[in-house]
Structure 1
Amino acid sequence: MDLLRSLPIGLYLEQPITWLHRLDPRVKLGWLLSFLLAPILASAMWKLSLVGILVIISILAGIPWRALKQQMGWLLLFGGAIFIVGIFAPDSINVTHQLRSPPDAGMEIAQPYQYVLFKLDTGALQFKITRKSIDNAIYASSLIFTSVYSTTVYLLTTSPEEVATGLDDLMAPLRRYNVPVTEIALTLTLSLRFIPLVLEEIQNLVRSVYTRGIDWQKLGLKNSAKVWLTVSEKLLENLLNRAEQIAIAMQVRGFTTPNTHKVDWHQLKLRKLDFLAMAVLAIFWTARFIVGGQII
């Protein structure tokens, strides 16, 4: 089990440098928020289109498959399982088949609106697939894929320093209302840098447990829970020690507050590629409101 490779959360892909790396972090943050907000009240085809757009962006950017295969495998498996469960789940709508208008004498009877697409009733088992259940399944599975995958691509192509600098610049107007913008950006940077340390501690503790060859069947459920509780306490203790060491190192170097020791981690500058990405983003939202709306 290698958590540092299977969970690329908080990890930055330094090589190769793709065109996504060269984009301004503020522009990439706008695209990330767009992928998170665009599925709201959107049609099923638009939700599926978002999945395709994300995959196409990853292919065009040339992100190595080694950085995404582990994450993609579990994500596709989880999303597929949610879709299968969702199409058979009750939609809480009781609709009977009825004609759109009462037939007149001598006129051809109109076809009823087919709301239930598939129904299986064997007595003990009852399954029903409706239009609403398919829409709910597409919404749940596509939402999980777009939210997790877009965030993963964003973190892989944006360093923690760039993320913090971009947020600090975007939240600059909040300083008028005494919002500690710089402290928030610093906390976010330290948090993103601390995630790999957390994964490393979890990985080391789990490996130390398995190398001892514990017979879990003989221990039973109660004793096994005690073992993992002890491991959790040790994990918390190690993480607090790591955090204290980082705090001491910052104090020794004279870092008291980010306002008095401001560090310019990244120079923000919009280039031609950034303006092109913003133009495409405007087209994206125009298409969302024109053709991507949910049909009521």
Structure 2
Amino acid sequence: MRDKLILGRMIPTGSPVHGLDPRAKIAAMLLFTAALVLSDGWPALALLAPCAAAVLAATKIPPRTYARALRPLRWLMLFVFLFQLLGGAGSGSAELPAAGGGAWEWTLGPVTLTAAAVSGALLAVCRMALLILFTSLLTFTTTPSMLSRGVEGLIKPLARRGTGAERFALMLRLALRFIPALLEEAQTILKAQAARGADYEEMNMRSKARLLLSLLVPVTVGAFRRAEELTTSLEARGYRIGAPRTAYRPLAWRGADTGFMLLFVLLPIGTLLLRLAA
């Protein structure tokens, strides 16, 4: 189970993107998300997709790894596609030209499909896929500890109290650490049930649903036990929120981080100009 979870795992390749400051990568992801929200047509997507592809290629991570990151959310993407398609949502700027040069419409009983609806559904799925890919890029190139430190560095100037950013960063760091621990515990329980004769391949959907319910209680109890042990460990080591401390690897902003940020600052501006010009 843990090996199948690719999203959220750091993949070291020694690329220039790996060496960037985590604050720059987090800010770039937020700017890219803003550009996706502002994009309302294919011209804007044609601007964002090549930039995202170039950054993905710069990480030196195989494309199949990014494809594996999309797999867990494929049913959600299918739902979004069908929802947009059957809802008939589609704007003029998002419409793809038909083969004959004009708009088309196809009716099957109570369902009516139009060129604008198909184009809008495809556009929504492409935007969602780009968002997932760029989010996976952030986690593939940044360790959980550096990611939490980057978040802390970004929100510290905005926090009213001095300990607010540190509390949030600690919560994020512990959450990222607990995910693989809980998956490992769930896998141990599944192996124990398989050793007692449970055959998952022959189970129907109802039996698999009952299996998930049987996993819920021991995994929840294990999570509380690990949380209690972690609290005791932090108290034994004298950890206090807001206490002065130094970092083993301090964050350092360099010229490459500034250039990376400037690239993504231009993306929302470009999509906004395209939206106003449409």
Judge same fold: TM > 0.5, yes or no: yes
In the alignment, which residue of structure 1 is the partner of 2:93?
A: none
After superposition, the Cα gap between the structure-2 partners of 1:211 and 1:189, relative to the gap in structure 1 and judged at 3 Å, is same
1:36-55 Cα shifts (integer Å, max 9, x gaps): 22122423212354344323
SS in structure 2 of the partner of residue 39 of structure 1:
helix
| Count of residues paired in the alignment | 267
In the alignment, which residue of structure 2 is the partner of 1:39?
A: 36
1:195-226 Cα shifts (integer Å, max 9, x gaps): 21122222332333344333689999887755
In the alignment, which residue of structure 1 is the partner of 2:274?
A: 291
In the alignment, which residue of structure 1 is the partner of 2:154?
A: 170
Aligned match for 1:276, one of 232, 249, 259: 259
In the alignment, which residue of structure 2 is the partner of 1:152?
A: 136
1:1-296 to structure 2, matched below 5 A, reads 3-13=1-11, 15-45=12-42, 46-47=44-45, 49-65=47-63, 67-75=65-73, 77-78=74-75, 81-82=78-79, 85-86=82-83, 88-91=85-88, 117-121=104-108, 124=109, 126-131=111-116, 133-177=117-161, 180-214=164-198, 227-255=211-239, 257-260=240-243, 262-264=245-247, 266-292=249-275, 295=278
SS in structure 1 of the partner of residue 198 of structure 2:
coil
Q: Could you tell me how far apart the structure 1 residues matched to 2:37 and 2:277 are?
A: 9
After superposition, the Cα gap between the structure-2 partners of 1:55 and 1:209, relative to the gap in structure 1 and judged at 3 Å, is farther
In the alignment, which residue of structure 2 is the partner of 1:96?
A: none
How far is the alpha carbon of 1:19 from its aligned partner? Answer: 0.9
After superposition, the Cα gap between the structure-2 partners of 1:69 and 1:293, relative to the gap in structure 1 and judged at 3 Å, is same
Q: Could you tell me how far apart the structure 1 residues matched to 2:63 and 2:202 are?
A: 42
Could you tell which deviates more after superposition, 147-156 or 216-225?
A: 216-225
Q: With the length of structure 1 as denominator, give the TM-score of the two structures.
A: 0.75
Q: Could you tell me how far apart the structure 1 residues matched to 2:200 and 2:206 are?
A: 10
SS in structure 1 of the partner of residue 106 of structure 2:
strand
Larger Rg: 1
After superposition, the Cα gap between the structure-2 partners of 1:279 and 1:178, relative to the gap in structure 1 and judged at 3 Å, is closer
| Alpha-carbon contact 2:21-2:252 (below 8 Å) kept | yes
After superposition, the Cα gap between the structure-2 partners of 1:22 and 1:174, relative to the gap in structure 1 and judged at 3 Å, is same
Equivalent AA in structure 1 for residue 172 of structure 2: L
| Alpha-carbon contact 2:31-2:265 (below 8 Å) kept | no
Q: With the length of structure 2 as denominator, give the TM-score of the two structures.
A: 0.79
Q: Any unmatched runs of 5+ in structure 1?
A: 94-112
SS in structure 1 of the partner of residue 37 of structure 2:
coil
| Alpha-carbon contact 1:119-1:127 (below 8 Å) kept | yes
SS in structure 1 of the partner of residue 133 of structure 2:
helix
After superposition, the Cα gap between the structure-2 partners of 1:19 and 1:218, relative to the gap in structure 1 and judged at 3 Å, is closer
Q: Could you tell me how far apart the structure 2 residues matched to 1:218 and 1:8 are?
A: 26
| RMSD between superposed Cα atoms in Å | 3.3
After superposition, the Cα gap between the structure-2 partners of 1:215 and 1:232, relative to the gap in structure 1 and judged at 3 Å, is same
Equivalent AA in structure 2 for residue 169 of structure 1: G
Equivalent AA in structure 1 for residue 219 of structure 2: L
Q: Could you tell me how far apart the structure 2 residues matched to 1:83 and 1:221 are?
A: 23
1:39-72 Cα shifts (integer Å, max 9, x gaps): 2242321235434432332122201456434224
In the alignment, which residue of structure 1 is the partner of 2:98?
A: none
Equivalent AA in structure 2 for residue 22 of structure 1: G
Q: Could you tell me how far apart the structure 1 residues matched to 2:166 and 2:184 are?
A: 28
Q: Any unmatched runs of 5+ in structure 2?
A: 91-100
After superposition, the Cα gap between the structure-2 partners of 1:270 and 1:232, relative to the gap in structure 1 and judged at 3 Å, is same
1:150-173 Cα shifts (integer Å, max 9, x gaps): 111101111222222222222223
Equivalent AA in structure 2 for residue 289 of structure 1: L
Q: Could you tell me how far apart the structure 2 residues matched to 1:228 and 1:222 are?
A: 10
Could you tell which deviates more after superposition, 216-225 or 135-144?
A: 216-225
* Identical aligned residues as a percent: 21
How far is the alpha carbon of 1:178 from its aligned partner? Answer: 6.0
